[in-house]
Structure 1
Amino acid sequence: MSKILNWDVHGMHCPSCERIIEQEVQSIDGVAHADVNMGQKRLTVTLKAEGNYKEGLKQAFERLNGHGYTFQRQSEHAEAPTCDATKSRAPLGKRMIRALFFVAGAGLLFGVVLAPFQRMVPAASGNLTTGAMLFFGIIASLSTCLASTGGFLLAYTSQASGTQRKWLVHAGRMVTFVAGGAVLGSIGGALPNLTGGFYGWLALLLGIGFLIVGLNLLNVSPSMASMGIRLPKSLNKLMDTVLKSEKPYTPFLVGAVTFVIPCGFTQTAQALALASGSPVTGAVMLGLFALGTMPVLAGLTAFGSAATLNRPTPKAIVGAALFIFAFGQIDGGLTVLGSPVTPSTVLAGMTRPAIEATAIPVNAQEQTVEMRVIYGTYQPKNLTVKKDVPVRWVIHGDDINGCSRDITIPTMNIYQVLKEGMNVITFTPTKSGVIPFSCGMGMMRGTFTVVE
């Protein structure tokens, strides 16, 4: 008769943690089955009728404990190992101070050191650069994508013999992402034309998702999985079936299955491919995303260990970067949706605009402000105009492509497709305050400050 033992488990933050623990425990001699429930924080082990499991469990728990997981037998008198050497969780105040330190560092890095590359975060549109999707893939491979996809690939490649089989895994991933991107782009092209409101809501939802994941990685909030937002566990059973297959095409199939593994970054990239509305663009986008993840995933399958993904410092660094990305996505989404209050308008109200329009004479009948669209930015992006005086907004299209092809002032119901050369938009501000404007996707943003 089989025996069932239960442990309380702490340190899990995503469904991949369940898989990592299950795979580690289930490989022990004497263990028939292992099941981890993240919501209940419980490990259930079914033992075989014969076999010495104690030493194997002790060693497995010690390995997992070194990567942030702790185990406590639910029965104090049970003859089974306990491993709780990891320090208890720090108070919330200390964790928040630590998180602020990492966020401030990330903000400084992105705002000063990486300012020329600030547009390399994908917008909720199909108009993306090669660098944007590669960069997005690299960031993904250092975050939840590494935990979910990396853990799955490592479970297979750690048992696969031969370098060729391991590279077939990555070939299967690349081919499937290119083909999947083409399919999603085709589906998007068959849908009705997507409005700016759609892109605004998409950017807002992506930003909220990034924010939740980032705060979780910074160790100040629960994960989406712990809140019940996750794919069914039956998907894990399907992946386990693929891993156990010994067919010649199994390595390629293992790589292909990563297209459907639950990962917020992968699903974001897939949403962007769908929004592109083009099979070619969708294929290129997802192909570049997969290519960006390859160096880290290939290194992991060759040399790494899935449990090392739970180290606190790398998680905090990536969490801080996601927090900054979330700020940009939420700001862009609110701008496109016409919200008068966005993070950028709040900051604009607290600080003096970097460049202002020419002062307007008291009795002026019209005020002219000029702006250039160049290198994916608005120059200047902060403009000052006078209330109740008609504005002649001259926009010089020096570099019109991708997201910069259109411009909108949602609060005034103004939308215009830009052309190269001079473009003119006229309007009359009737209220003092800050009026945000942006490209149609909300990623290039600026403000009008209306004064009395």
Structure 2
Amino acid sequence: MAKTYLFHVKGTTCTSCEVVIEREVRELDGVLGVDVSHAKGVVAITMKKGHPIHAAQLESLLGTHGYQFSKKEKELPPQPWNWGRIATIVGIVALTYFILSKAGFLTYSPTIDGGKGLAGVFLIGLIASVSSCTAVLGGLLVAVSASSAKQNQNKSLRERMRPHILFNAGRLIGFLFFGAIIGLVGSLIQLSIGFNGLLILIVALLMIGLGVNLLGIVPRGVSVIRPPKWLTHKIHDLSTSHHPHVPFALGALTFFLPCGFTQAMQLYALSLGDMKSSALLMGVFALGTLPALLGIGAITSSATGERLKKITAVAGVLVITLGISNVQNSFALLDWHPFAFTGQSYTVDASAPTMVGGEQLIQMEVSERGLYIPDELTVVEGIPVRWEIFGADFMGCADSLIMREFGINTHLDPGSNTVTFTPTQTGRFTYSCSMGMIRGTMYVIPQETL
């Protein structure tokens, strides 16, 4: 008669961990079934009669992944909040945000010219490569390599490496292709500014949740929309096929594996609403994961114990920092100013506009670095404004300009551009690119202050 054994598990961070544990435990002798719940921190293993299983066996099998097992005698008590550690992490995140912001790495501009922005996306890929997401990918790659090695024992190193190279090539091309499809969908449904802002906010909260998970600040992770677990197992099952093109197909299908980082980038790509930009975004993200998969990032596979904890902590801080940056981007598009002070006064300064032909004339440049120069402008309420904007040859996502309060949503071309509007209310307003990443401030002052 079969018997089900229950164990507590610590060290899981997402659905990828569930898949890793389930697939490796299924290889043990006598296992009839295994089900892992990251949310509950429980592993249920059904064994044949006469085949007991103990926590020590699971530790021996999966301890290298950082998982810890104990027999489930009763429900574990809730873990207390470590407020001192949380305060330290908040301080480190604030410092990291300041440094990355000044360096320009928090401006994602997924175009060929957006070097620093693409570096930020590449960084997220590198972070994903030290997370449990790569444990799933690594498992697939090992399965493919092992299957090929058995068939090609007498062949050259180049021929034995072929499946490995095909897998990574398929992953890169798959991410480019499916990224373009996501961008096409985004362009067809014509996302509104507000919906675009909500998508970016979801991405931001997802990234912050992932970072919190990596740092282990709370006992369990956030719930996210993810592909069904059976799909992940089906993709893994393909690895046993002997067809020469299977490694390439498997690499491409990793686009659909349950990884919070991948899902965050997919939502971000959807919000871009452009095939080329979305494909580039997903392609650069996939490139960031390749070093670990190609074996160049041996640090991720050799790290254990305290070293692994340090790597994970650094990754967690970076992910939270990037998430906070995206929260600000979404607020700009949603016209939310939760930290703005009310009742502030506005005075005319050197940036106040001159009058030309009954219109207020203001001028601004969009640089090749994706910066607004100047990034603060002042106009007067109730008087038409002529906004002259000179765009660089390459502007990244700054080639769009949005200011919701006054109905501005326009594309900027290289060279001279003109935007006209009439400010109908006083206050401090944010104008930005379509992603909310590049921002400036428009001050509208009442006429009586002149």
Q: Normalising to structure 1: TM-score of the pair? A: 0.77
Pair 1:51–1:5, CA change in 2 (3 A):
closer
Q: How does 1:184-199 map to 2 (within 5 A)?
A: 184-188=182-186, 191-199=188-196
CA separation in 1, counterparts of 2:294 and 2:139? 10
Deviation at 1:154, TM superposition (A): 2.8
Instruction: Give the 3-state SS of the residue equivalent to 1:227 in structure 2.
Output: coil
Deviation at 1:445, TM superposition (A): 0.7
CA separation in 2, counterparts of 1:313 and 1:429? 51
In the alignment, which of 326, 329, 353 is matched to residue 329 of structure 1?
326
Greater Cα offset, 419-428 or 251-260: 419-428
Q: How does 1:34-433 map to 2 (within 5 A)?
A: 34-49=34-49, 53-54=53-54, 57-61=55-59, 64=62, 68-75=66-73, 91-112=81-102, 114-115=103-104, 117-119=105-107, 121-122=108-109, 129=114, 132-133=117-118, 135-143=120-128, 146-157=131-142, 160=146, 161=149, 162-188=160-186, 191-221=188-218, 226-227=222-223, 229-271=225-267, 273-274=269-270, 282-299=278-295, 305=301, 311-337=308-334, 339-341=335-337, 346=340, 357-358=350-351, 368-374=361-367, 375-385=369-379, 391-399=385-393, 401-427=395-421, 429=423, 431-433=425-427
CA separation in 2, counterparts of 1:444 and 1:349? 26
Pair 1:347–1:300, CA change in 2 (3 A):
farther
CA contact (8 A) 1:200 1:336 kept: yes
Deviation at 1:157, TM superposition (A): 1.0
Instruction: Give the 3-state SS of the residue equivalent to 1:441 in structure 2.
Output: coil
CA separation in 1, counterparts of 2:51 and 2:69? 21
- Provide, for residues 300-355 of structure 1, a one-character-per-residue CA deviation record: whole Å limited to 9, x for no partner: 79785499599433333223222232233232233223x25266xx39999x99x9
CA separation in 1, counterparts of 2:386 and 2:444? 14
CA contact (8 A) 2:30 2:47 kept: yes
Deviation at 1:241, TM superposition (A): 1.9
CA separation in 2, counterparts of 1:50 and 1:155? 31
Deviation at 1:187, TM superposition (A): 4.6
Instruction: Give the 3-state SS of the residue equivalent to 2:443 in structure 1.
Output: strand
Partner amino acid, structure 1, of 2:167 = V
Q: Normalising to structure 2: TM-score of the pair? A: 0.77
Greater Cα offset, 176-185 or 383-392: 383-392
Pair 1:409–1:399, CA change in 2 (3 A):
same
Deviation at 1:53, TM superposition (A): 4.9
Partner amino acid, structure 1, of 2:128 = S
Greater Cα offset, 315-324 or 384-393: 384-393
Deviation at 1:259, TM superposition (A): 1.5
- Structure 2, unaligned runs of 5 or more: 150-159
Partner amino acid, structure 2, of 1:395 = I
CA contact (8 A) 1:370 1:394 kept: yes
- Provide, for residues 208-253 of structure 1, a one-character-per-residue CA deviation record: whole Å limited to 9, x for no partner: 32232233333334665x5364332222331342234444444333
Percent of matched pairs sharing the same residue: 32
Instruction: Give the 3-state SS of the residue equivalent to 1:39 in structure 2.
Output: coil
- Provide, for residues 113-152 of structure 1, a one-character-per-residue CA deviation record: whole Å limited to 9, x for no partner: x23x442x257xx898466446414412313784224423
Pair 1:169–1:426, CA change in 2 (3 A):
closer
CA contact (8 A) 2:106 2:322 kept: no
CA separation in 2, counterparts of 1:306 and 1:35? 28
Deviation at 1:401, TM superposition (A): 3.6
Instruction: Give the 3-state SS of the residue equivalent to 1:331 in structure 2.
Output: helix
CA separation in 2, counterparts of 1:258 and 1:379? 42
Instruction: Give the 3-state SS of the residue equivalent to 1:142 in structure 2.
Output: helix
Greater Cα offset, 24-33 or 298-307: 298-307
CA separation in 2, counterparts of 1:270 and 1:388? 42
CA contact (8 A) 1:10 1:71 kept: yes
CA separation in 1, counterparts of 2:379 and 2:124? 40
Deviation at 1:6, TM superposition (A): 1.1
Deviation at 1:97, TM superposition (A): 1.5
State the partner residue of 2:152: none
Deviation at 1:30, TM superposition (A): 4.7
Pair 1:349–1:297, CA change in 2 (3 A):
farther
- Structure 1, unaligned runs of 5 or more: 77-83
- Provide, for residues 49-74 of structure 1, a one-character-per-residue CA deviation record: whole Å limited to 9, x for no partner: 456855xx525415745755332212
Deviation at 1:444, TM superposition (A): 1.5
Deviation at 1:436, TM superposition (A): 0.9
Instruction: Give the 3-state SS of the residue equivalent to 1:44 in structure 2.
Output: strand
CA contact (8 A) 1:178 1:286 kept: yes
Pair 1:436–1:35, CA change in 2 (3 A):
same
CA contact (8 A) 1:140 1:146 kept: no
Pair 1:273–1:433, CA change in 2 (3 A):
closer
CA contact (8 A) 1:145 1:266 kept: no
CA separation in 2, counterparts of 1:412 and 1:58? 65
Pair 1:70–1:347, CA change in 2 (3 A):
farther
